[in-house]
Structure 1
Amino acid sequence: MNNRTRWLVLVLVLGVAGVVALWPRDRTPEPQPTSSRPAQDVNALRAQAQLRPCVPGSEGGVDVTCLGDGTRTALALKGPMLINFWATWCQPCQAELPVLDNYAKQPGAVPVVPVLVESREADGLELLARLGVRLPSVYDGPDELRKRVKAPIGLPATYFVGADGSVRQITDPPYFTAAEQVEKAVR
């Protein structure tokens, strides 16, 4: 191959690479489905889970899905309230959810809002039903609420929202194993 042919091949390769690099692409990410199951299956899971109703939305809140009925609601960071971020694959989350449910049943308990992240809605409903947890729970697929409170990636992550709107992460204990620990953490 002579020099002229080599240069011609090089120019063609660079031209093709330039066209590929400049070719318009759709940069809008596809919205993640809340579930790959048909709607009737998710509705059946909602009925099976028997979750208590979510608190009605309030202005300025983060848009989330109520797992109990599938409606969209705006969850505001107005306390007192305990927010618990969890996922179906998280083993400590699975141990902690029944503890939070037991705490929430006590007289004078601070409202507890479990927030499903990094999992599918249907899988969360199945887990809550299996664990017998009936807390009013929400699904935050886009992770907006966790971003708002600047929550770390690790799960579970629990936050106490004070009456004044202050938000503090509860790190001691890393996850709850007894209702008494929850009661102590929200004082």
Structure 2
Amino acid sequence: MSTAARWSVVVLVLAVAGVVALWPRSPGPAEQAAIPTRTRPTADLDDVRARAALPPCPQGSPDAPGPEPLRGVVVTCLGDGRPVDVAATVPGRAVVNFWATWCLPCQEELKVLDAYAREPGAVPVVAVLVESKEADGLELLAKLGVRLPAVADPPDAVRQALRVPRRLPVTYVAGADGSLDLVDEPVVFTSVEQVREVVG
């Protein structure tokens, strides 16, 4: 092979390498985790938050710090956008529900939980949004007419802290002593009566 031919091959290899390096690609899992979930301007997010009209997140006290596995896990309160220690949102007996915007059974269950929470004597219900963007969760809650206190957990820290099963929806019942019991039956609440029976 002549010197000119060798240089031609070298130039061709470098050109191909340059094209490959600059070619658009999908982000890998580590890069996806670093992508922020709040992609809308703050003003737009505030508009969606106003339409959803969610109540503020419950606040615990030194006398009722909430379940121990959740203490120190910081999430975003969907009602006002502020960071909150998730344990403080469960200061006593409560229902904790994990849901995502793409989960159709979650949508029906949220309506059932919202109806239960409006009943006299109901324990508080806190909805934990996972695997979804904050704005999308707010829009869906507004569309469903669900007005539960809710938090967004983009890093999935709450599910990791509790070792929540990798299915949705998932519901826990928190006790006054800070215990958390996974609801295995029913897997999805379809009536207020079922929630009453589980909560006791």
The answer to whether the superposition gives a TM-score over 0.5 is yes
Q: CA RMSD in A?
A: 1.8
| Kept in 1: contact 2:129–2:153 (CA 8 A) | yes
Of residues 69, 76, 84 in structure 2, which corresponds to 1:65?
76
| Kept in 2: contact 1:116–1:138 (CA 8 A) | yes
Q: Percent identity, aligned pairs only?
A: 57
Partner residue, 1:128: 141
- Residues in 2 aligned to 1:143 and 1:121: alpha-carbon distance in whole angstroms: 13
- Residues in 2 aligned to 1:45 and 1:70: alpha-carbon distance in whole angstroms: 11
Counting helix residues as a fraction of each chain, which structure ranks higher?
A: 2
Partner residue, 2:50: 47
Of residues 85, 89, 104 in structure 2, which corresponds to 1:74?
85
Of residues 57, 80, 103 in structure 1, which corresponds to 2:116?
103
- Residues in 1 aligned to 2:39 and 2:77: alpha-carbon distance in whole angstroms: 18
Partner residue, 2:27: none
- Residues in 2 aligned to 1:109 and 1:86: alpha-carbon distance in whole angstroms: 20
Do the aligned partners of residues 61 and 144 (structure 1) sit closer, same or farther apart at CA in structure 2, a change above 3 Å counting? same
TM-score by length of 1: 0.81
- Residues in 2 aligned to 1:51 and 1:126: alpha-carbon distance in whole angstroms: 11
Q: Could you report, residue by residue, the CA deviation over 1:133-161 in whole angstroms, capped at 9, with x for unpaired residues? A: 01110001111111111101100000011
Partner residue, 1:177: 190
Q: Could you report, residue by residue, the CA deviation over 1:163-183 in whole angstroms, capped at 9, with x for unpaired residues? A: 111111111111111111111
TM-score by length of 2: 0.76
- Alignment gaps of 5+ in structure 2: 2-29, 66-70
Of residues 16, 35, 38 in structure 1, which corresponds to 2:38?
35
Task: Using the TM superposition, give the Cα deviation of residue 32 of structure 1 relative to its aligned residue in structure 2, in angstroms.
Answer: 3.1
- Alignment gaps of 5+ in structure 1: 2-27
Partner residue, 2:8: none
Q: How many residue pairs align between the two structures?
A: 161
Moved over 4 A (4+): none
SS at match of 1:42: helix
- Residues in 1 aligned to 2:92 and 2:167: alpha-carbon distance in whole angstroms: 23
- Residues in 1 aligned to 2:160 and 2:194: alpha-carbon distance in whole angstroms: 26
Farther-moved stretch of structure 1 (59-68 vs 39-48): 59-68
Partner residue, 1:159: 172
| Kept in 1: contact 2:60–2:91 (CA 8 A) | no
